[in-house]
Structure 1
Amino acid sequence: MARGIGIPRCVQCGTRSNPCRCKVVGPTLGFLAFAAAAIVEWPVGALVYCFKHVKGRRIMAHPAAVVYPRVTNAIPI
């Protein structure tokens, strides 16, 4: 049987936010939100970095520092 490529699954174990202490949905959706935000924000951040270094770095770090943690922590499973 041929196996198809599914959506990426991220697993975060050792959390106390649910009884099984493992999260799958939150980290997976967090990764997808991170990727979508990064596609937009990294080129913009690179352009801004040419003129304002600190602002450009802050824009490029936004998907990893804000988007991924907020989405991952918002979904407890």
Structure 2
Amino acid sequence: MGVGIGVPICIECGTHSNPCRCKVVGPTLGFLAFAVAAVVEWPVGALVFCFRHHKGRRIMAHPATVVYPSVSNAVPI
């Protein structure tokens, strides 16, 4: 038997951006964009953190504070 890799699906309910009050596509794309950005930015942020703590923290926080919300909010469904 093989082990399958599932696709992450994120659901956000209680939103006012569409009549259904639930979003699936935006949060899912936001999570995938977050994961791609994190793979690149977290190692860079960790290296920068060794020399400039504040700048390294900002780099490592960028996927969660900027990438995910902007992609998630760009898609209303």
TM-score interval for Structure 1 and Structure 2 normalised by the shorter chain: over 0.9
* Separation (CA, whole Å) in 1 of partners of 2:47 and 2:6: 34
* Separation (CA, whole Å) in 1 of partners of 2:8 and 2:25: 10
Aligned to 1:66, the other structure's residue is in SS state helix
What 5-or-longer segments of structure 1 have no aligned partner? none
Q: Which residue number corresponds to residue 74 of structure 2?
A: 74
Aligned to 1:16, the other structure's residue is in SS state coil
What is the TM-score when the length of structure 2 is the normalising length? 0.93
Query: What CA deviation, in whole Å up to 9, does each residue of 1:5-42 have, x standing for no partner?
Result: 44110000000000100000000000000000000000
The residue identity in structure 2 corresponding to 1:27 is P
What 5-or-longer segments of structure 2 have no aligned partner? none
What is the TM-score when the length of structure 1 is the normalising length? 0.93
Q: Which residue number corresponds to residue 45 of structure 2?
A: 45
The residue identity in structure 2 corresponding to 1:64 is A
Q: Which runs of 4+ in 1 moved over 3 A?
A: none
Number of residue-to-residue matches in the alignment:
74
Equivalences for residues 1-77 of structure 1 within 5 A:
5-77=5-77
Quick one: percent identity of the two aligned structures? 81
Aligned to 2:72, the other structure's residue is in SS state helix
* Separation (CA, whole Å) in 1 of partners of 2:74 and 2:56: 27
